[in-house]
């Protein structure tokens, strides 16, 4: 199933890049704004996967790498976002 999604993402690369850029950029910014700005550990844990994903987009890396990096980034962002929402 993941391979089929990656193949479809490769075919529609530029559309997926725009979607990923919007989701990862906005979600990372919201997560930092919710409270990660006060914690160095949280800031680093959010910024490293976010910047890695954005760097993959800029370097025109294979879509499989971009898809995995996006999943990791969104997971980390949602984890921290839910934590700061609950606190």
Q: For residue 15, is it within any domain? A: no
Q: For residue 75, is it within any domain? A: yes
pLDDT the model gives residue 80: 94
Residue keyed to tokens 């990923």: 20
Number of domains in the chain: 1
Q: For residue 16, is it within any domain? A: no
- Give the residue numbers spanning the domain of 83: 37-87
Helix-helix angle 13-34:63-86, to 10 degrees: 20
Q: Rounded distance, CA 25 to CA 70, Å?
A: 11
Q: For residue 56, is it within any domain? A: yes
Q: For residue 58, is it within any domain? A: yes
Q: Rounded distance, CA 57 to CA 47, Å?
A: 15
Q: How many helices (H) and strands (E) does the chain have?
A: 4, 0
Residue keyed to tokens 């934590």: 83
Q: For residue 85, is it within any domain? A: yes
Q: What is the pLDDT of residues 15-60, one digit of tens each?
A: 999 999 999 999 999 999 988 888 899 999 999 999 999 999 999 8
Q: For residue 87, is it within any domain? A: yes
Helix (H, G, I), strand (E, B) or coil at 5: helix
* pTM of the shown model: 0.87
pLDDT the model gives residue 9: 87
pLDDT the model gives residue 6: 86
């Amino acid at each position: 199933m993941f391979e089929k999604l990656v193949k479809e993402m490769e075919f529609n690369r530029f559309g997926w890049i725009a979607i990923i850029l919007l989701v990862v950029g906005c979600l990372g910014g919201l997560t930092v704004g919710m409270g990660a700005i006060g914690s160095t550990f949280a800031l680093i844990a959010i910024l490293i996967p976010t910047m890695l994903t954005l760097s993959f987009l800029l370097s025109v890396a294979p879509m499989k790498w971009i898809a995995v990096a996006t999943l990791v980034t969104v997971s980390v962002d949602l984890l921290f976002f839910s934590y700061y929402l609950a606190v």
